[in-house]
Structure 1
Amino acid sequence: MSTDVKDSQVTKRDKSQNETLLEVINLKTYYPIKGGILRRTIGAVKAVDDVSFEIKKGETLGLVGESGCGKSTAGRTILRLLEPTDGKIIFEGNDITNVRGTTLRKIRKDFQMVFQDPYASLNPTMMVGHLVSEPIRNYYKKSQSELKPEVIELLEKVGLPEDAYYKYPHEFSGGQRQRIGIARALALKPKLIIADEPVSALDVSVQSQVLNLLKELQDEFDLTFLFIAHDLSVVKHMSDRIGVMYLGGLVEVAEKDSIYEEPLHPYTQALLSAIPEPDPRKKKERIILEGDVPSPINPPSGCTFHPRCAHATSECQKIKPTLKEVKPGHRVACHLYN
């Protein structure tokens, strides 16, 4: 990852306003497992299991963890692309967990998603101009010709030329297609964007360009981000705060500097130890986790990380730790900090 990615810092966004835009309370998303002749539910994959966090207006919360930890499922559940099994999703003070129909449609103008695979998320039979304008046409009675100047302006803001309007997704590179996806997400002027691994499918040479673009657009449009990724260097540059997920649950949440300089949870420490050190003269101790990630169908009792933790005690095997504040703004779910 290029070091020219802009570091997250206070810009013209007013970070002093501590107004919560999104609050997630004890969110659970389970996928039922069917079996037998009658296809009865015999179990569940606990993709997201009792997750709670909040995002302030104008900030970026990074969500990190291994593949399969539930971070993408959490993002899709918040957008109500997936139905939550339990818990609450509070957006701008309103509980949107169970809203349906017209009410959900109205709320959805305010949050959008940038998907991991830009090609799979774009209709290959539609011109880019129609792709970007489609969300606006779905909500407002405007013709394509009326929207053309607005769409061209959006394309220019994401770094695409005017003639991109008349082209199709297959005519662009991966980085350019992701810019189209970003323009489409901006079309309705949302307040929250959930970016699900937005650069993981791109060449390293263009990842920093797309990340810089996201930060510039965040400042210009006063956006709030939930930034989902597995690349810790990307998350460090993009985020104000970071949440670390393991096997469907949050194990640590803190300001990014606090996470990187003084990680508290053993799993977070292991993740950060895996980041390559660019200076070969510096020695870095690598924490090797033993064993495999347990199955979310039958997670371990107590702390789900205890089978792989070097500090595990009998208490860890029996009692599930709660996410609690151990330092100002730094929460961790670990019995080491009782």
Structure 2
Amino acid sequence: MKDNILVKVEHVKTYYPIKGGFWRKTIGFVKAVEDVSFHIEKGETLGLVGESGCGKSTTGRTIVRLLQPTSGSIIFDGKNITSLKGKELRSMRKHFQMVFQDPYASLNPMQMVGDIISEPIRNYTGRSPRETKDEVVHILEKVGLPADAYNKYAHQFSGGQRQRIGIARALALKPKFIVADEPVSALDVSVQSQVLNLLKELQREFSLTYLFIAHDLSVVKHMSDRIGVMYLGHMVELADKQNLYTNPLHPYTQALVSAIPVPDPRKRKERIVLQGDVPSPIHPPPGCVFHTRCPVARRECQEVKPVLKEVRGGHQVACHLY
């Protein structure tokens, strides 16, 4: 089991400092990720879901070290990358990449597509310009783009094609692990399935491991092997997709699953509507962070923070009901 784990996240916290006053001193913190632990096996897709602002994207960016964790540790392929800096971090970056949510904002509008994709190849390998161009054209074909895309700019492509360019850039160094941060949420519904199927094909061909972040539970179910549910910076449930969708344990997960549209009216279940708003991540509530909106909360939930624990084969939940 241990030999098969590619990414291991242990008690990671990521806080954003809040500056205030004339001297711009730190007066508080936004607790974006709070004591999150999980692992991802080689070749697996772990889905991460939750409301906007729950810490999904921050978790992904922290794992690939675009953000420095406040505490905790990140083990990648047996190596602790939590505190790596400079050349050590740079040498590890070729093994993990990220596909961003907005395919236009993440691409340099001043560079042609060929330059965008070839930049990591030039920086990390000693290939000649001819070899580099051949490799870029090969990658473009793998993501379903024509060879003449090499000499065009990002604004000349549709949203779906731009996201394919972002995926091609992530593939340039043949990484082991890719964080896909809501890769289809900015795309038309008509092209979402094309991009999702492309990601699955690439995973099979290149033996990729994914952390797939999204807020659409139907999309996550299509893509993932296991799914983690986050709320206000905390991991509240983690299970394989079959158990999570057929038997959600945490009251928050139950509310999310009840909101998934079902075409057949005879199979629809009663929608669980949560009351109130998500608390501030600057001043999260004591005890269970979900107790202010939980329909079955009791006194213990207001005072004692539940820990994520396994309640049945591989199904983990952070709730005092179990």
Q: So what's the TM-score if we normalise by structure 1?
A: 0.93
Aligned to 1:303: 288
Match of 2:62 among 77, 97, 106: 77
Is 1:315 matched up with 2:306? no
Aligned to 2:207: 222
State the alpha-carbon separation in 1 of the partners of residues 18 and 169 from structure 2.
35
Aligned to 1:7: none
State the alpha-carbon separation in 2 of the partners of residues 222 and 281 from structure 1.
40
Aligned to 2:92: 107
State the alpha-carbon separation in 2 of the partners of residues 183 and 106 from structure 1.
20
**Residues 29, 77 of structure 1: 8 Å contact kept:** yes
Aligned to 1:324: 309
**Residues 274, 286 of structure 1: 8 Å contact kept:** yes
State the alpha-carbon separation in 2 of the partners of residues 48 and 208 from structure 1.
30
Is 1:291 matched up with 2:260? no
**Residues 61, 240 of structure 1: 8 Å contact kept:** yes
Question: Could you tell me how far 1:41 is from its partner in structure 2?
Answer: 1.7
Aligned to 1:118: 103
State the alpha-carbon separation in 2 of the partners of residues 265 and 232 from structure 1.
15
1:268-311 deviations in whole A, cap 9, x for unaligned? 00001111111134342000000000000000000000010011
Aligned to 2:130: 145
Q: What residue ranges of structure 2 are gaps of 5+ in the alignment? A: none
Aligned length: 322
Query: What amino acid is the match of 1:209?
Result: Q
State the alpha-carbon separation in 1 of the partners of residues 8 and 126 from structure 2.
32
Question: Could you tell me how far 1:100 is from its partner in structure 2?
Answer: 0.5
Identical counterparts, % of pairs = 74
Aligned to 1:96: 81
Question: Could you tell me how far 1:17 is from its partner in structure 2?
Answer: 9.3
Match of 2:170 among 185, 199, 217: 185
**Residues 59, 224 of structure 1: 8 Å contact kept:** yes
Question: Could you tell me how far 1:220 is from its partner in structure 2?
Answer: 0.1
Q: Larger deviation: 279-288 or 148-157?
A: 279-288
State the alpha-carbon separation in 2 of the partners of residues 77 and 17 from structure 1.
22
State the alpha-carbon separation in 1 of the partners of residues 277 and 2 from structure 2.
42
Aligned to 1:161: 146
CA RMSD of aligned residues (A): 1.2
Q: So what's the TM-score if we normalise by structure 2?
A: 0.98
Aligned to 1:41: 26
Aligned to 2:321: 336
State the alpha-carbon separation in 1 of the partners of residues 47 and 240 from structure 2.
10
Aligned to 2:248: 263
Match of 1:243 among 211, 217, 228: 228
**Residues 18, 57 of structure 1: 8 Å contact kept:** no
1:21-76 deviations in whole A, cap 9, x for unaligned? 00000000001112223322221100000000000000000000000000000100
Question: Could you tell me how far 1:162 is from its partner in structure 2?
Answer: 1.1
Q: What residue ranges of structure 1 are gaps of 5+ in the alignment? A: 1-15
